[in-house]
Amino acid sequence: MTLLLLSTPERGKIWPRVFAEAGEDILVGEQAVHDPSAIEHIACWYPPKDLSVYTQLKTLISVGAGVDHLPALPEGIALSRTIAPGLEAMMRDWVVMATLMSHRDMPMYIAQARQGVWKAGSVAATGKRTVGILGMGRIGRLAAVSLLALGFRVRGWSLSGATVDDIEMFAADDLDVFLAGVDILVCLLPLTERTRGILGDALFGKLPRGARLVHAGRGGHLDMTALARALDDGQLASAILDVTEPEPLPAEHPFWNDPRIVITPHVAAQTDAREGAMHALAVIRAVREGRPIPGLVARERGY
């Protein structure tokens, strides 16, 4: 049951140690592979161009939480995305930070600082603002708990609209109703054909005037031109973005110096190398023992 790791030098250093402690086999880098048929698992961000040489391949493990960058896999190969509690907590932290920054007018204060302007606006209580979370998976639910504890009203939207404790949930068809009551919109959706470009003119138009955007999904969700338009129209008041289209955002892009926008360079979360290795070990063992694979991706739903 050998695993092949194709990833960063840091992971290449740490994973073999974790695997050695666990008594499992690992190879790092394709140049280390002499017998492709010995490889049963591949952990990577981008997979090898030709998977067909790995005749015994059982699972492909994405070393991140996302899988939208991966091509379709041949039948019979399971796809697992890394479930890492640390990564989820980091995402939660960034979302809580960005939501508070949005709520407390930080884009405006940051822009004022550039001009040397000391000018206080009014302060609203969290209880007067509704945060709407698009995508109520594990990270969305973690964020919701923290935001509720800070006194925000919180509502969630997911494909299924499945119940989440203490949160008013909306299903796919109720997107418009959901949006109509949102002051701060947080996007945590997976990127699928269904969600690509979802943050665009139509969606922005259904938010109350002056709503704020917090985006920690993928650049592909966001129509950057529509966002600029919504900000210029006053339909949106501000945006805090961890992802853009394209990435990296070019130095000359006008968003960098837009007083209504704050950008972080896709740093909402990073998988800890050790935590990623532990996930891969859990996958290997589940396959060996015929148990459900952790982080198994339902490709037909696109995530």
In the complex, minimum distance from the CB of residue 90 to its own copies, in angstroms, rounded to a whole number: 6
218 is catalytic: yes
Contacting residues for 55 by C-beta, under 8 A, at least 6 apart: 36, 37
With contact defined as beta carbons under 8 Å apart, do 101 and 107 qualify? yes
Binding segment for its own copies (CB under 8 A), chosen from 44-52, 107-115, 157-165, 172-180, is: 107-115
Minimum Å gap between C-beta 76 and its own copies is: 36
**Least separation in angstroms between CB 150 and its own copies:** 6
Binding to its own copies in span 150-169, by CB under 8 A:
150-151
Our CB check for its own copies shows the closer of 2 and 126 to be: 126
Q: Which of 9, 23, 71, 118 binds its own copies (CB under 8 A)?
A: 118
Residue 260 touching its own copies (CB under 8 A): no
User: Phi/psi at 189 (nearest 5 deg)?
Assistant: -70, 150
**Per-residue CA distances from 214 to 97, 114, 130, 279, 301 (Å):** 10, 22, 13, 29, 24
d(CA 150, CA 152): 6
Q: Of 22-30, 42-50, 121-129, 181-189, which segment contacts its own copies by CB under 8 A?
A: 121-129
**Which residue shows structure tokens 């030709």?**
50
Give least dist CB 83 to its own copies, A. Answer: 16
- If you write DSSP's letter for every residue of 43-105 in order, what string do you get? EESSPPS--TT-TT--EEEESSS--TTSPPPPTT-EEEE---HHHHHHHHHHHHHHHHHHHTT
Which residues, 6 or more positions from 171, have their beta carbon under 8 angstroms from its beta carbon? Answer: 157, 158, 159, 160, 161
266 is catalytic: yes
The residue (of 39 and 216) whose beta carbon lies closer to its own copies is: 216
If binding is defined by CB under 8 A, does position 248 make contact with its own copies? yes
Min dist. Cβ of residue 125 to its own copies (A) = 5
Work out whether 249 is an interface residue with its own copies (CB under 8 A).
yes
What distance in Å separates the CA atoms of residue 137 and residue 199, rounded to the nearest whole number?
18
Q: Decide if residue 263 touches its own copies (CB under 8 A).
A: yes
- How many CB atoms sit inside 10 A of residue 57's CB? 22
Instruction: Pinpoint the alpha helices (H) of 121-272.
Output: 138-149, 175-180, 201-206, 224-233
| Nearer to its own copies among residue 41 and residue 141 (C-beta) | 141
Restricting to residues 187-216, name those near its own copies by CB under 8 A. none
The reply to whether 252 sits near its own copies by the rule CB under 8 A is yes
Q: Which is nearer to its own copies, 37 or 270 (CB)?
A: 270
Q: Which of 218, 221, 260, 279 is catalytic?
A: 218
Tokens 């280390």 belong to which residue?
32
Helix/strand/coil for 236: strand
Closest C-alpha to 200, from 175, 225, 217: 225
- Return residues touching its own copies (CB under 8 A): 86, 89-90, 92-94, 96-97, 100-101, 103-106, 109-110, 112-123, 125-126, 146, 149-151, 247-253, 256-257, 262-267, 269-270, 272
Residues designated catalytic: 218, 266
